[in-house]
Amino acid sequence: MSSTRDLPAPTRSARPAADRRDGDQEHHDFLRTPPQNIEAEQAVLGTLMSSTGASERYFAETVETGIRAEDHYRPAHTLIHRAITDLHDKGDPVDPVRVAAQLTERGELGRAGGATYLHECVRAVPTVANGAHYADIVRAKAYRRAAIESAQKILQYAYSEEGDEGDVRSLVEQELTAIVAGMPGLAAAPPAVGDLYLDYVAELEEIQDGRKVGLTYGISDVDAVTSGMHPGNVTVIAAGSGVGKSTLALNAAVAAAKTGARVMFSSLEMSSTELMQKIAAAEGKIALHHLTQQGGMTSEDWKQVERLGRELFRTLPLRVYRPDGASLRDIESAARGCARADGLDVLVVDYVQLVEVEQSRHITREQAVAAVSRGLKNLSVHLECHVIVLSQLNADGQVRESRAIKHDASVVIKVERPDLGEPESPRAGEVDLVIEKNRFGPCATVSAAAQMHYSRFVDMKNT
């Protein structure tokens, strides 16, 4: 890149030193002008309005930095940037004259500084070859402003003495997660459906061509009916005790992780050792009772365990979390930790009736479970991950405290074993996965093979 002039650092407004007292330094900190660089903002806009002909590639380089209209500190620059973006999206040439016409059409030319100011921005560019560099400066200032805004939110909430320690921690983690992930959270108007249309058609083509599918549940027929697992959605797996809901969920977690998805399995019922035993049994085809009984391992079993360590466990992006307590806040905190560390695609919670929330004396058990369900649904949206929630069934086959759980779920799968209590059943070794709620397709019943000695369910065709 060509060299460029040094863009001056932003100035900060402050009261004269003689007017300040040591006691109000904190107040002064909040009155300082937020980080910004007007010259860099002008240079970005000037680059975008000058990159035509042989210089057109500099427009793309500048935009590819990820700069947004909302990253500008000066409101007029936000208006100009939006006008430039709209012209470019329509395939129209971008220059000061056309940008002025676009702003006039919107009734925003005066607020943007007028046509003369657009030409000033163009003249302010040292060289369009450094457009990406100017954009990086603007984005860095915007990121600092977002960090300051998050810090102020935390300070204001902490000073207010509202909530308890857990509420404060939750707010801190939410704000820090957004900042560390590089998503400042600057407010912007949501897109119109017209803006979403082309992306929707492209995604539709990928779906129809089989190039885009959700994460697998590990059972192909379940994937076909539900289109797999998608970010921001919740699947409820419900069953009576001992039927196999944890087995199905763990199979799904491992299957998704084997495709590269980042998974966290939070178990409130089984220990980490028990979970590892079930994974080893399912993936190594080792009888579960060989793994759990003294002297039960054969030499071949040991070879399989060694192979699993080398080929699976060392690289599988699956984290197992066994909280000390059973608090929803603990699970949320661990999930955010995963999101900050490596990202998070799937969260499994086993199971919902064991999760605790802060309760007052007057809250019912159903209201408490509803609070957990809503919290996990919100977490799936905020972290853009899929959540699998396990739930117990009542004796009558209904999901316990079911109203809120089923309402928040996109998919509800009941696990039924037709051979339980009937040794001579013609369907021995089978399981029915009853999909009784499905926002992505029809409700259906999928039959699979129940190989419980290996702690796994598999497609019937694989038996």
- In tens, the pLDDT along 14-54 reads 333 334 444 454 445 556 788 999 999 999 999 999 877 66
Q: Among 151, 173, 189, where does a domain finish?
A: 189
Mean pLDDT over the full length of the chain: 83
Q: Which two tokens stand for residue 85?
A: 């973006």
pLDDT at 177: 76
Q: Which pLDDT score, from 0 to 100, does residue 443 have?
A: 93
Please tell me whether residues 123 and 228 are part of one structural domain. Answer: no
Residue 229 and residue 162 share a domain = no
Are 126 and 224 members of one domain?
Answer: no
Residues 125 and 182 in one domain: yes
**Same domain (yes/no): 304, 444:** yes
pLDDT tens digits for 358-415? 655 566 777 777 888 888 888 898 889 999 999 887 666 566 556 778 888 899 999 9
Two tokens, residue 24: 């109000």
Q: How far apart are CA 319 and CA 234, in angstroms?
A: 19
219 domain-assigned: yes
Asked, for residue 374, whether it belongs to a domain, the answer is yes
Which residues are CB-neighbours of 74 under 8 A, at least 6 positions away? Answer: 36, 38, 41
pLDDT digits (tens, 9 = 90+) for 302-323: 999 999 998 899 999 999 988 7
Is a pLDDT exceeding 60 seen at residue 7? no
Instruction: State the total domains in the chain.
Output: 2
**CATH number, domain at 74?**
1.10.860.10
Residue 109 backbone dihedrals phi, psi, to 5 degrees: -60, -40
380, 413: one domain: yes
* Residue 224, domain CATH: 3.40.50.300
**Cα distance between residue 86 and residue 415, in whole Å:** 51
Question: Looking at 189, 205, 224, which one is the last position of a domain?
Answer: 189
Q: Is residue 177 within 8 Å of residue 339, measured between CB atoms?
A: yes
pTM of the model: 0.62
Residue 195: inside a domain, yes or no? no
Question: Tokens in use for 445?
Answer: 């019943």
Copy the structure tokens of residue 388.
């699998």
Identity at 151, one-letter amino acid code:
A
Q: Is residue 33 part of a domain?
A: yes
**pLDDT over 80 (residue 9):** no
Both 264 and 412 in one domain: the answer is yes
Domain of residue 223: give its range: 214-462
Q: Judge if 175 and 227 occupy the same domain.
A: no
What is the C-alpha to C-alpha distance for residues 232 and 214, in angstroms, rounded to an integer? 12
